[in-house]
Amino acid sequence: MKLLVFSDIHGDLAALSRLMDTEADYYVAAGDLVNFGRGLNRCGQILARRADRVYALPGNHETAAQIATLCRDFGLHDFHERHAQWGRYQVAGLGYSNPTPFHTPGEYSEMELAGKLESFAGLAPLALICHCPPQGTALDQIRPGLHAGSTAVRDFLVREQPEYFFCGHIHEAAGARAAIGKTQAINVGKQGWLLDLA
């Protein structure tokens, strides 16, 4: 049983098509399919090829309402603030980012992120998927010494220690991996990451 997680497509329809060509049992789009909500229907047409297996989160470039509409129109699953059991794992999803300098539509305060993550506390074994990365790690590094991730996400990972954590948001860190205690954490980027849930 395989889970493909990807993020930050930003309108790259060729990259999205390649991801949909990959065989998996579950596909999670972890936010920022487009820029500022524009062109979601074009992405929806591609995601619809795997519709019953596609789960979507809003990034900071989409609103929760826009993703809910996308899922309704194309038969996808809205996974924002939700969780499910896939194989032996509890898999949970939370979209949006911590505040950015760009005033994008999908941003939560750190307090809001902490409160929403709390609904996943105690789930085990957990694979957590968020749009934004934990602060102060390889996953949120824009350049040496400059980090832009979430303290709430970091604190949740340190405390709850999910087996896996997947994120996007910081393009410069796409593909980066980190160990946060026992948690294997990956910034999946638009190349995506395939996890065996067996």
Kindly report the pTM of this predicted structure: 0.97
Count of domains observed in the chain: 1
pLDDT in tens, 43-86: 999 999 999 999 999 999 999 999 999 999 999 999 999 999 99
Mean pLDDT of the chain: 97
CA of 99: how far to CAs of 25, 88, 132, 139, in Å? 33, 34, 10, 17
- Which of the four pLDDT bands, split at 50, 70 and 90, describes residue 198? confident
pLDDT for 158: 98
Q: What's 45's domain CATH number? A: 3.60.21.10
- Show the domain range for 88: 2-196
Report how far Cα 39 is from the mean position of its chain's Cα atoms.
19
- Which of the four pLDDT bands, split at 50, 70 and 90, describes residue 104? very high
